[in-house]
Amino acid sequence: MNWFYATKEKTQAGPVDEAALESLLRSGTITPQTLVWKEGMANWAPYSSVLGLPAVVSAEAGTIRCAECGLSFPQDQLISLGGRSVCGACKPVAVQKFQEGVVSFGQTVDPEELWKTIQQRGYNFSIGSILSRSWNLVKGNLWPSIGVTLLCYLILVGSQQIPLLGLVAIFLVQPQIMAGLNWYFLKQFRGETATLNDGFEGFRRGFGQQALYMLIVFAIIFGAVFACAIPAAIAIPIIVSAAEKAGGDVPWIPITLIILVLTPIILAIWYFIICWFFAPLLILDKGLKATAAMKLSRRVVQMRFWKILLLFLVIGLLCLAGLLALVVGVIFALPIAFAALSRLYEDAFGEESPAA
């Protein structure tokens, strides 16, 4: 059966038989992520998802596949470039593609393959290590980190104060800014140069998917609100009527309202926020669609849900302490918070094994 494949120049090549295609993979001409097609297939698909990987290319325990040639190497023999691990032989090509913008990282990432990789290597992290590394990162680039964070935050808050347009900004500005800020710190963790422009990367890559992500989040949260409010709307009149008939006082009804409505709503909102936290960065970094990013984010978060929740609480307390410190402290707390969340993402989805 003859196969066609996409070249690095984004042109179609072939036809070649399956043995020749495997030879191209072994030589590094194509990678496991290269799109391939043959007659009878509805769409082009990555090589690895259609044909799998030959034994020589498949990663063994303790090794990582080079994102360019697909061969497996010990971790210390690979370098990280833009979140992709590449071997020494592939480094010149990878650097050139990165500089020329040929590679949109994660453009051909299969979320199911990424999920399998995370399951195989496991996912764990140390809250202390994340906070320590984040502080060291911000401290080493203090004023640029503060400047980028404050500028992005001022644009975010200011856009939401515009009459009538504030609601639109929630979809067209907020997720893009948040993803961009995390991207700014993520690049620094990967040893790359980060600039002010990186704080706005969410407007350049995955803009529409970021907006769709926020729209889905809002729809589900409002659905949860209504799901909690309807039983309360039915129950409260009954409670009031029963109290009045019994001749009792009813000032406790507002407390009942809070218990019946606000508590489950707040818990539901926080659950969704935590479960889908990784989605904006997955859209920007890995090129995933909104729904695929949300699904993968939820899967990974549920592996360490309570630990991630604890990290969120610690970060929240850090920002609160910054506010209480004459408000000035938050200027330093916010960059550390975004850096910590970016480190959390990299430990989960980076090419290298996460730190224990």
Q: CA 59 to CA 52: how far, in whole Å?
A: 12
In the three-class reduction of DSSP (H, G, I as helix; E, B as strand; rest coil), residue 35 is classed as strand
Going along the chain, which residue ranges are E strands? 3-6, 12-16, 35-37, 45-46, 63-65, 72-74, 78-81, 84-87
Q: According to the model, what pLDDT value does residue 312 have?
A: 93
Q: CA 244 to CA 253: how far, in whole Å?
A: 12
Q: CA 126 to CA 204: how far, in whole Å?
A: 33
CB within 8 Å of 253: residues ≥ 6 apart: 236, 239, 240, 243
Beta bridge partners of 35: 46
Q: According to the model, what pLDDT value does residue 355 have?
A: 40
Q: Contact, 294 vs 216, CB < 8 A?
A: yes
Q: Say whether pLDDT at 348 is over 80.
A: yes
- Confidence label for 30 from pLDDT (cuts 50, 70 and 90): confident
Q: Contact, 85 vs 78, CB < 8 A?
A: yes
Q: Which residue has the tokens 């502080």?
A: 135
- Any idea what the Cα angle at residue 346 is, between residues 176 and 120, rounded to 5°? 125
Please report, as a single letter, which amino acid is at residue 88. Answer: G
- Confidence label for 302 from pLDDT (cuts 50, 70 and 90): very high
Sign of CA dihedral 307, 313, 317, 318: positive
Q: Say whether pLDDT at 101 is over 70.
A: no
pLDDT tens digits, one per residue of 35-87 = 888 877 777 877 766 666 554 444 444 456 666 665 666 656 666 655 566 67
Q: Contact, 28 vs 68, CB < 8 A?
A: yes
pLDDT tens digits, one per residue of 227-272 = 766 766 676 677 667 666 766 555 565 566 666 667 777 787 888 8
Q: Contact, 51 vs 21, CB < 8 A?
A: yes
Structure tokens, 313? 């609480």
Q: CA 172 to CA 165: how far, in whole Å?
A: 10
Structure tokens, 165? 């347009």
Mean pLDDT of the chain: 78
Q: Contact, 261 vs 228, CB < 8 A?
A: yes
Q: CA 297 to CA 114: how far, in whole Å?
A: 11
Q: CA 339 to CA 298: how far, in whole Å?
A: 21
pTM: 0.66
Q: What single DSSP character describes residue 6?
A: E
pLDDT tens digits, one per residue of 189-221 = 877 788 898 999 889 888 989 999 999 988 887
Q: CA 210 to CA 354: how far, in whole Å?
A: 26
Q: Contact, 302 vs 100, CB < 8 A?
A: no
